[in-house]
């Protein structure tokens, strides 16, 4: 997932590629350039030209996380899907333990992040979000950071959420959980961002997510 991540895209993509090559199984990296205005798009094209297992897709203008997720849903070719930010905050080595849980027979693996010092406003937003989901949906599986799931879940559950935010992922988790499908958990590594700032704590994204959450409550 890349929006104006030219300074970290090549390094992070290389780290992911090295981890995937060591797994000795089919894999693909899909670089989704979400309307970047820096050199992210050009670098993504170069990476795709250099490696046959790397593809890139460019959004016309910045469309937000929701659009990136939906592009991943529709374009992924391998049976398991995961999403990693191009800022390097989730280390590539997190992939292996998630994959091990998937191979054990679950349909989805949700990340958990150990306690860590975070800014007050981030902690407050996270707490309010968990409370909102509890009130609207009667609970929500523990989830922070990274997830991995079977590609077939998207079609099986008919995910419909639109908009900029991450509600489409929350819908997939809710529908999978309510279906009784097996869900596992694994610890998500978390590093400092190598570039840029958070794209999900701005007012525009927060308001968009709120609208989508209430629409999701109606749809479910």
- pLDDT, one tens digit per residue, over 43-54 is 999 999 999 999
Q: What is the model's pLDDT at position 64?
A: 92
* 22: exposed, middle or buried (Cβ count in 10 Å: 0-12, 13-18, 19+): exposed
Residue 139 pLDDT: 74
Domains of the chain with bracketed CATH: 9-219 (3.90.550.10)
CA distance 220 to 216: 6
Q: Cα–Cα–Cα angle for 40, 43, 45, nearest 5°?
A: 110
What pLDDT, on a 0 to 100 scale, did the predictor assign at position 117? 55
- 113/94 Cα distance (integer angstroms): 11
- Per the DSSP assignment, residues forming a β-bridge with 55 are 30
Q: CA-to-CA distance for 5 and 87, rounded, in angstroms?
A: 6
User: Taking 60 as the threshold, does the pLDDT of residue 200 lie above it?
Assistant: no
- Sequence-ordered strand ranges (E) for the chain: 29-33, 54-58, 80-82, 108-112, 147-150, 183-187
Measure the CA–CA gap between 195 and 161, rounded to whole angstroms.
Answer: 29
Predicted model pTM: 0.87
Q: Most distant CA pair in the chain: distance in Å?
A: 49
**Is residue 165 scored above 80 in pLDDT?**
yes
Q: Which of 3-17, 111-125, 181-195 has the lowest mean pLDDT?
A: 111-125
Enumerate residues 6+ apart whose C-beta is below 8 A from 122. 198, 201
Task: Report pLDDT for 118.
Answer: 58
Copy the structure tokens of residue 2.
Answer: 């890349």
Strands 183-187 and 108-112, bridge-based pairing: parallel
Burial class (CB in 10 A: 0-12, 13-18, 19+), 124: exposed
């Amino acid at each position: 997932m890349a929006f104006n991540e030219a300074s970290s895209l090549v390094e992070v993509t290389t780290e992911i590629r090295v981890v995937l090559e060591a797994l000795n199984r089919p894999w693909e990296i899909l670089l989704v350039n979400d309307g970047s205005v820096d050199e992210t798009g050009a670098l993504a094209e170069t990476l795709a030209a250099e490696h046959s297992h790397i593809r890139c897709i460019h959004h016309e203008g910045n469309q937000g996380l929701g659009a990136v997720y939906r592009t991943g849903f529709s374009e992924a070719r391998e049976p398991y899907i995961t999403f990693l930010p191009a800022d390097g905050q989730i280390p590539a080595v997190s992939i292996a333990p998630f994959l091990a849980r998937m191979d054990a027979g679950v349909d989805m693996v949700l990340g958990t992040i150990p306690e860590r010092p975070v800014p007050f406003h981030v902690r407050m937003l996270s707490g309010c979000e968990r409370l909102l989901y509890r009130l609207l949906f009667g609970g929500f599986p523990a989830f922070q950071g990274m997830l991995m799931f079977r590609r077939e879940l998207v079609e099986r559950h008919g995910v419909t959420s639109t908009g900029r935010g991450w509600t489409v992922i929350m819908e997939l988790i809710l529908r999978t959980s309510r279906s009784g499908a097996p869900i596992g958990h694994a610890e998500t590594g978390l590093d400092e961002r190598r570039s840029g700032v958070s794209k999900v704590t701005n007012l525009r994204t927060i308001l968009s997510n709120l609208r989508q959450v209430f629409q999701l409550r109606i749809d479910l």
